[in-house]
Structure 1
Amino acid sequence: MKRALITSLVGSVALVGAAAAQEPIRIGITQNNVGVDSYQTTYEKAFIEAAEADPQVEAVVLDAGGDVARQIGQMQDLIQQGVDAIIIWPTNGQAVVPVVRQAHQAGIPVVVTNSQIAEAGFDFIASFSGPDNITQGRYAAEMMCDALDDAGRVVQIAGQPGYTTAIERQKGFEDALAEQCPDVEIVETQPGDWNREKAQRVMENFLTKYDDIDGVYSGDDNMGVGALNAAKAAGRDDLVFIGATNFAVGYEAMGRGEYWGSVYQSPVEDARNALATAKAVVMGEEVPFLNYFDTPKITQDNMGEFDKPVF
């Protein structure tokens, strides 16, 4: 259903564009932190390729490098340039609200991509394009309940503090776990900042502190495999590992039987959907306020139905 909606959206944009003025649509994007992980690197590459393939689009592609102040400056620069639309992958969902308001007041529509801004900014954006991170967290909880037969002790490695995706995936996981298998206890949560090496150190500390852990939930497979590496080094091959965005390393670990499950999310689809949404907004098309794309559960049992992630 959601995939069909996205296909229809892209098709309608192409039809309207055929009759539009010759001037290209200038779309600026400021990203979170391209170098932090392979998902964001792949997203940027796919976004540039999609923009270059569309003769109606001229893209200004920027990267905040994880720096909120830098991203605010990039937003202000795009406003000064008078671009037709701005796509923002927020470094911090709360901190960027004032500059998103500035774009709105300047008459420039803003599309938030991948990670939502704080609710205080909802009145100033045209659409959110990306995954439903609450649902992803819930899916991870459902898999954890199944893997542990509804009872056990787990640790949680969350993403970057203050980052909406991390907050939502944590909330979705915790709420669903409490509802569906209250006998699965989260004994501690620590941030891994989307970084494999940091997640490995966090997991090493967990293993030193607790000798009765049954499962590990990580906000993405990049961190999850870092935790897995720590467990393997400690001889703990009895743990259940579940993530919330399937990376190639997570997919490979599933194939080896070391990683139980995750959520399948394509950065290519993420990037293309953001560009199509922004273009549709500029062209006067109706778009959903929450323009989610599909992110199904992937486990050792059904991984054969999915291609290995490209990131």
Structure 2
Amino acid sequence: MKKDLKTWLAKGSATAAALLMTASAVAADGKTLGVSMPILAGPWYTAILYGVETKAEELGYEVVVLDAGGYSNIDRQLSQVQNLITQQVDAILVDPANPSAFNGVAREARGAGIPLIGVSSPIVASDVPPDGAVSSSHCTLGEMMADGAEAVLPEGGTIGVLAGPGGAFWAEERLRCFKENTADSGIEIVASLSTEQDVATALTTANDIIQRFPDVSMLYAADDTYGVGAARAVQQAGKCGEIKVLFAVLGEAAQDLMEQGCVDYVVAQKPVTIGAQSVDLADKLISGSAEHGAVRTISPVAVYPENLAEIDLTEIRQPKGWRPKN
């Protein structure tokens, strides 16, 4: 079996020499998938990569993974996608930091005959349809989070929002649909802040909201990076159960905090399945057995303390202790 090729460009620190070495290896070894992520830190991306790696190994692909180091590094992610096109990988899996910036590279990939597949984003570029995508509906996620908010706050209440990275399609779409579906519920948003995707930053943001609005009923968080920070802020304030916490994605820390009574409702996506299905779709697009523009929708599941023990985690999380290959 061919030795796996894995190139990690953590936070844009790779040199030109490393890129040239990767390009040579790609050309020599054949079947290769490029993966471009805005950031790799956090449980969501670890689970995505577990799905990608295991399916790629099963299908005989090597994988080149590029990390832009944060949602604010849009130019870096664009440059990394261009590098993958130059390397002539067989397909590119991408979670775009901001689809409105990706029209140029999407056209470049199409011109080079390289399928571009959205991973957890049905949109790769705002004006160029993707060759394929695997994602949950982010509007559905927002609607399910609205259902959760209404279940936890049946009489209504006030909410502080940790909205996610500014300009990120998934975060904006979730919040838009959440707002639409809580409009007549007696739920009022009193604060809404966008920040970089980082637990420590989310903790600080949540602390600020709690200090400004000590009687806030709930904290909404775009995903569990923000949600874990929010829950820890509530925990530090001694208000678990008093200030409710709602978010998407169920990582290990999120589960632990729910078991401690500091998280009340999670809409859990299935990132392992999304990663694996993205590779499967890429393989079928490469072989011509999948329809151009195919979108596979992966349904999320609502998780709360009463059903937590019954949730099948195999589609949600990588095995305990698993780490991406170096």
Contact 1:85/1:278 (8 A) holds in 2: yes
| Structure 1: gaps spanning 5 or more residues | 1-22
SS at match of 1:156: strand
Mapping for residues 230-249 of structure 1, pairs under 5 Å: 230-237=233-240, 238-249=242-253
Contact 1:101/1:121 (8 A) holds in 2: no
Aligned length: 284
2:137 pairs with 132, 137, 156, which one?
Answer: 132
Change (3 A) 1:40 1:160: same
- 1:258 equivalent to 2:257? Answer no
Mapping for residues 193-208 of structure 1, pairs under 5 Å: 193-208=196-211
Deviation at 1:61, TM superposition (A): 2.6
Contact 1:25/1:279 (8 A) holds in 2: no
Mapping for residues 116-265 of structure 1, pairs under 5 Å: 116-117=122-123, 120-123=126-129, 125-178=130-183, 181=185, 183-237=186-240, 238-265=242-269
- 1:295 equivalent to 2:271? Answer no
Contact 1:68/1:96 (8 A) holds in 2: no
In 2, the alpha carbon distance for the partners of 1:111 and 1:278 equals 7
1:63 pairs with 62, 67, 79, which one?
Answer: 67
TM-score by length of 1: 0.84
Instruction: Give the % identical residues.
Output: 26
In 2, the alpha carbon distance for the partners of 1:51 and 1:207 equals 44
| Structure 2: gaps spanning 5 or more residues | 1-28, 319-326
2:286 pairs with 273, 282, 286, which one?
Answer: 282
SS at match of 1:91: coil
In 2, the alpha carbon distance for the partners of 1:120 and 1:160 equals 17
In 2, the alpha carbon distance for the partners of 1:116 and 1:293 equals 11
2:99 pairs with 93, 99, 108, which one?
Answer: 93
SS at match of 1:100: helix
Deviation at 1:90, TM superposition (A): 1.0
SS at match of 2:98: coil
In 2, the alpha carbon distance for the partners of 1:33 and 1:204 equals 24
1:106 pairs with 108, 112, 133, which one?
Answer: 112
* Counterpart in the other structure of 1:83: 89
Worse-matched range after superposition: 87-96 or 133-142: 87-96
Letter in 2 for 1:53: E
Letter in 2 for 1:69: D
Change (3 A) 1:270 1:196: same
Worse-matched range after superposition: 67-76 or 139-148: 67-76
Cα displacement string for residues 131-166 of structure 1 (whole angstroms, at most 9, x for unaligned residues): 211111111110101111141111111111111111
Mapping for residues 38-77 of structure 1, pairs under 5 Å: 38-55=43-60, 57-66=61-70, 67-77=73-83
Letter in 1 for 2:110: H
Change (3 A) 1:43 1:120: closer
